[in-house]
C-alpha cells in the first residue's frame, strides 16, 4: 500500500502479530484502515463499529479531513441516523479488501512480494476480528453497537459469535446467517468470470494489467442482482442507450440499461483488485453462522447482546427477506429484544444505499432507543 | 448442416427464396427443420404449430422414428395434454438455431462459407414466419393453434401480428410483448461473456474451437435465472459439491449447486453454437410487439383469434408474471376470449419444463375446449 493512496482521514491500526486466520494461516505486520467521526466519550462507551459491503472503502461519510462524499453520506453525521453528535463512529475497510487494509493486493512484509494467492483463506470471522482490533487500537474494549449492511451484515453476526460480550447492540442489514444456493451460484459465476479471464494468470497479473474482462462481467452481474426488476422498469424501461455508449459492434449496447452497466463496470475495474474480490466473495459463500454453536439461537444467547435490529428488503434477490426474518426469530428465541423491519423498498439488495428515508428512519429510531 | 446430424424423425421445409428478414437482409435456399406427431386430418384443420425456447431442437417428444426423449416429452403424445390422438403437431427448430434450421452456423449456399456474422439480423418475427412456412410445406394454411414457451411464447405473439388469420387459437407460455430492462441486462451480459472470450474471434471461430468460456458463463447465468431461489434452497441447500466436480483450484466448486451449473454448462457447450446464441438472444431483446400497431390490443384485434391461453409463473425472474397478465388484459380488451393462468410453481421461468402436472392440466383443459 502506498502512502499517497491514503486519504487524509484514513488511519491504520496494526493487527496482533501474527494475526491467525479462522480457517488456518496467519498474517504478519497486517493492518486495517479506518476512519472515525464524532468524539469518543471519557468512558469509551459510545463507539459504533461500522462494517461495509463487499466493495466500499472506510470512507462512509465526509469529514473536515476528507470532504468528499462517503458511501453512506446521508446516514452518518451530526443529527443523522447514525448520529455523530452522540456516537463515535469507526468505519473499517474489510481485512482482505484493497483500500488500505491488508489484502491479497498488499505486499507481504515477510517476502517483499504481493500476496496474491499466498494470502490465507479469508473468512467473515477474520473481518470481524480485524475490525475489533481497530476499535481496540483506540482503547475501546466494548462497542455500543456494531452495524453492517450486506457483507457487513454477515460480519456483525460473526462478531457476535467470535467476540461475545464485546458489543451491547447489533444492527444487521440485508445480511444472512448463511447464503442460499441461488446466491452461491451467482457469486460462483462472478468468480469464474475472473478465474477464466486469461489476464488473471492464476492470480499473478501485474499492477497495470488486471483481468479487466472478468472484473467487468463480475461487476455487471453484481449490479444486476443488487437491484430489482421493478426498479429498473421504472428507471430505464426500454429507452435506447445513450449514443456515448454506442459501438460499431453488431451486438453492442442497444438499451439504456446496458450503458448503465458499462459505467458501473468501468468504475469498478478502475478501483477494485481482482484477487481481493475473489477472496471476499468466497468468504461470503463459506460463511455459516451455525458453525459456531449448536444453533443460531444458542450462539446469540452467548453473545451478551442487550438488543438487536434486523433489517431486510422484500425485493432482495441475493439475501432474501426470509433470511433476515430467520435471524430475528433466532435473536428473539435467544432472549435478545429485537426489532425486525421488512422494508418494502423496490431497490433490492442495494436499498440500504438508495432508500435512505426508510433506512435512516429505522436505524435512527432504533439507535435513539439504545 | 451434415446429413448424419439429422435425426430420422427430422424433416426439412424449404423457405421462400429469397426469405426476406423483418429488419432487412435475406436468406437464399434457407430451410427449417421440424418434426411431426399425429395425423393431419383431411381438412388440414387440426394442426398445432409448436415453437421452442432458445435452445431446444424440434424434437419435442419421442416417436417411432426417434424414440429418444424429447424436450416436452410428457406434454406431447397420444392422450397427453397436447393430444396427438386428436392434433397433428409440428415442432420447428427456430430459424437462426443450429439443430437443422438455417442459422449463423450454416453454410451460406451463395458463398460456400459459414454465415457467422454475415447472417442477417434475426428477429422473432422471422422465426414466426419460418415456422409458418414449415406448416405451409405440408399444405396447411391455417393452424388450429400456435403454442410456445419462453422465446416460443414471444414467437406466437409475433405470429399473431405478422400472420393475422393464420391461427384460430394461441397459447403463449412465460412469454412477453417486450422484455424488461432487468432481462435485457441479463441477456446483454450473457452475450458479452461470449463477445469478450478471445476464442470468439469476432465470430470467426473454427468448427472445433468454439468460445467455450463465453458459452459456459452465458449458460450458467441462464441456468441460474431460469430457476428460483426457493426451488434451489429445497433442492441443493448448502450441500457440498460432489467430489467428481472438485478441483485443486482454491476457488473451485465448493457447493452442490456449483456442480449442477458445471454439468449444465458442459452439456450446452457441446451442443450449441455461440453465434446462433448471440443472434437468438439479441432477437429476444429487440422484440417489441407494440411495433406492429397502435397498441398491443389493436394488434390482437386484427389477429383473427377465436381464443387464447396465457400462462405465466409467479416465481419467474426473467419474464415476470406482470408481463403475461398484461398480455391477457390486451387480448381481452381486443375481444379475444382469453384464459389467464398465474402458476404458483416455484421453478421460475423453467417451470413449463418441470411442473408438468400444473402445465399439462392447464394446456390440456384449454385445448380440450377448442
What is A276-322 written as a DSSP string? HHHHHHHHHHH-BGGGGSSSHHHHHHTTT-SEEEEEEETT-SSS-HH
Confidence of residue A44 (pLDDT cuts 50, 70, 90): very high
Min Cα–Cα distance to chain B from A193, Å: 7
- Please state the rounded mean pLDDT for residues B199-215: 96
**% of chain B beyond a pLDDT of 70:** 98
Q: Does B142 contact chain A (CB < 8 Å)?
A: no
Handedness of CA A95, A98, A101, A105 (dihedral sign): positive
User: Which residue has 402458476 as its cell numbers?
Assistant: B343
Measured between beta carbons, which residues in chain A are less than 8 angstroms from residue B227? 182
Interchain CB distance below 8 Å, B220 and A192 = yes
A57-83 residue pLDDT tens: 999 999 999 999 999 999 999 999 999
Residue of chain B whose Cα is closest to the Cα of A196 = B213
Instruction: State the pLDDT at residue B1.
Output: 36
- Among the listed residues A97, A150, A174, A281, the single catalytic one is A150
Angle at the Cα of A53 from the Cα atoms of A47 and A58, rounded to 5 degrees: 50
Interchain CB distance below 8 Å, B195 and A249 = yes
User: Which residue has 459469535 as its cell numbers?
Assistant: A161
- At A171, list the grid cell: 444492527
Contacts of A126 (CB under 8 A, 6+ apart): A19, A21, A22, A95, A96, A283
Burial class for B322, CB neighbours closer than 10 Å (0-12, 13-18, 19+): middle
DSSP A8: T
Q: CA B134, CA B30: separation in Å to the nearest integer?
A: 12
B107-108 and B113-114 as β-strands: parallel, antiparallel, unpaired?
antiparallel
Q: What three-state secondary structure class fits B265?
A: helix
Confidence of residue A3 (pLDDT cuts 50, 70, 90): very low
The β-bridge partners of B339 are B309
* Whether pLDDT at A6 is above 80: no
Top pLDDT among B249 and B94 is at B94
Instruction: State the pLDDT at residue A248.
Output: 86
A282-326 residue pLDDT tens: 999 999 999 999 999 999 999 999 999 999 999 999 999 999 999
A199-224 residue pLDDT tens: 999 999 998 999 999 999 999 999 99
Instruction: State the pLDDT at residue B237.
Output: 97
Instruction: State the pLDDT at residue B8.
Output: 75
The β-bridge partners of B221 are none
A275-294 residue pLDDT tens: 999 999 999 999 999 999 99
Q: What three-state secondary structure class fits B53?
A: coil
pTM of the predicted protein model = 0.95
Q: What three-state secondary structure class fits A137?
A: helix
Instruction: State the pLDDT at residue B3.
Output: 38
- Among the listed residues B123, B316, B345, B350, the single catalytic one is B316
Min Cα–Cα distance to chain A from B123, Å: 14
Range of lowest pLDDT (A223-237, B123-137, B183-197): A223-237
- Please state the rounded mean pLDDT for residues A330-358: 97
Interchain CB distance below 8 Å, B251 and A184 = no
- Among the listed residues B150, B176, B315, B345, the single catalytic one is B150
Confidence of residue B2 (pLDDT cuts 50, 70, 90): very low
From the candidates B181, B189, B236, which should be mutated to test the interface with A, based on the most A CB atoms within 10 A?
Answer: B181
Model ipTM over 0.90: yes
Q: Does B198 contact chain A (CB < 8 Å)?
A: yes
Q: CA A85, CA B7: separation in Å to the nearest integer?
A: 76
A29: region left, alpha or beta (phi > 0 left; psi from -120 to 50 alpha): left
- Please state the rounded mean pLDDT for residues B292-304: 98
CB contact at 8 A, B117 and A250: yes
Element (H, E) at A13: strand A11-14
Instruction: State the pLDDT at residue A88.
Output: 98
CB contact at 8 A, A305 and A336: yes
Confidence of residue A2 (pLDDT cuts 50, 70, 90): very low
Instruction: State the pLDDT at residue A5.
Output: 45
Q: Does B183 contact chain A (CB < 8 Å)?
A: yes
A124-171 residue pLDDT tens: 999 999 999 999 999 999 999 999 999 999 999 999 999 999 999 999
Q: Is A292 assigned a catalytic role?
A: no
Min Cα–Cα distance to chain A from B320, Å: 8
Contacts of B207 (CB under 8 A, 6+ apart): none
Nearest CB among A179, A198, A224 relative to B182 is that of A224
Residues 53-112 of A with CB under 8 A from B: none
Q: Does A263 contact chain B (CB < 8 Å)?
A: no
Confidence of residue B207 (pLDDT cuts 50, 70, 90): confident
Top pLDDT among B228 and A265 is at A265
CB contact at 8 A, B180 and B320: yes
Nearest CB among A181, A185, A257 relative to B237 is that of A181
* Whether pLDDT at B5 is above 70: no
Nearest CB among A117, A198, A255 relative to B181 is that of A255
Confidence of residue B7 (pLDDT cuts 50, 70, 90): low
Q: What three-state secondary structure class fits A187?
A: helix
User: Which residue has 421488512 as its cell numbers?
Assistant: A342
User: Nearest 5°: phi and psi at A9?
Assistant: -85, -15
* Whether pLDDT at B305 is above 50: yes
Q: Does B192 contact chain A (CB < 8 Å)?
A: yes
| All domains of chain B in start order, with CATH | 3-180+289-369 (3.40.50.1820), 183-280 (1.10.1740.110)
- Among the listed residues B97, B169, B349, B350, the single catalytic one is B349
Q: Is A349 assigned a catalytic role?
A: yes
* Whether pLDDT at A91 is above 90: yes
Instruction: State the pLDDT at residue B127.
Output: 98
Instruction: State the pLDDT at residue B336.
Output: 98
Q: Does B213 contact chain A (CB < 8 Å)?
A: yes
CA atoms within 13 A on the CB side of A296: 20
CA distances from B286 to A266, B125, B283 (A): 25, 11, 5
Interchain CB distance below 8 Å, B256 and A181 = yes
- At B190, list the grid cell: 450473457
Amino acid at each position: 500500500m502506498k502512502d499517497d493512496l491514503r486519504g487524509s482521514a484514513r488511519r491504520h491500526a496494526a493487527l496482533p502479530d501474527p494475526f491467525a486466520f479462522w480457517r488456518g494461516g496467519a498474517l504478519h505486520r497486517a493492518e486495517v484502515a479506518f476512519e472515525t467521526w464524532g468524539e469518543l466519550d471519557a468512558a469509551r462507551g459510545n463507539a459504533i463499529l461500522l462494517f461495509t459491503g463487499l466493495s466500499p472503502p472506510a470512507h462512509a461519510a465526509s469529514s473536515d479531513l476528507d470532504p468528499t462524499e462517503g458511501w453512506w453520506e446521508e446516514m452518518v453525521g451530526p443529527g443523522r441516523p447514525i448520529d455523530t453528535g452522540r456516537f463515535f463512529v469507526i468505519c473499517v475497510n474489510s481485512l482482505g479488501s484493497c483500500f488500505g487494509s491488508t489484502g491479497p493486493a498488499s505486499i507481504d512484509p515477510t517476502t517483499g512480494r504481493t500476496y496474491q494467492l499466498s494470502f490465507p483463506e479469508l473468512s467473515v470471522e477474520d473481518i470481524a476480528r480485524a475490525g475489533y482490533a481497530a476499535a481496540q487500537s483506540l482503547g475501546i474494549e466494548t462497542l455500543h453497537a456494531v452495524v453492517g449492511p450486506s457483507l457487513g451484515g454477515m460480519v456483525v453476526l460473526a462478531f457476535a459469535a467470535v467476540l461475545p460480550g464485546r458489543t451491547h447492540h447489533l444492527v444487521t442489514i440485508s445480511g444472512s446467517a448463511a447464503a442460499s444456493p441461488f446466491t452461491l451460484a451467482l457469486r460462483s459465476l462472478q468468480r469464474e468470470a475472473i478465474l477464466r479471464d486469461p489476464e488473471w494468470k492464476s492470480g499473478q497479473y501485474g499492477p497495470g494489467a488486471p483481468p479487466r474482462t472478468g472484473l467487468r462481467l463480475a461487476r455487471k452481474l453484481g449490479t444486476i442482482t443488487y437491484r430489482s426488476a421493478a426498479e429498473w422498469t421504472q428507471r430505464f424501461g426500454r429507452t435506447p442507450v445513450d449514443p456515448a455508449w454506442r459501438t460499431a459492434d453488431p451486438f453492442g449496447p442497444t438499451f439504456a440499461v446496458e450503458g448503465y452497466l458499462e459505467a458501473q463496470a468501468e468504475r469498478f475495474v478502475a478501483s477494485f483488485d481482482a484477487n481481493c474480490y475473489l477472496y471476499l466473495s468466497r468468504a461470503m459463500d463459506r460463511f455459516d453462522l451455525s458453525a459456531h454453536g449448536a444453533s443460531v439461537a444458542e450462539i446469540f444467547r452467548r453473545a451478551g447482546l442487550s438488543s438487536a435490529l434486523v433489517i431486510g428488503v422484500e425485493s432482495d434477490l441475493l439475501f432474501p427477506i426470509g433470511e433476515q426474518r430467520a435471524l430475528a426469530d433466532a435473536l428473539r428465541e435467544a432472549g435478545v429484544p429485537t426489532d425486525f423491519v421488512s422494508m418494502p423498498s423496490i431497490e433490492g439488495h442495494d436499498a440500504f444505499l438508495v432508500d435512505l428515508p426508510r433506512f435512516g428512519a429505522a436505524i435512527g429510531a432504533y439507535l435513539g432507543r439504545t
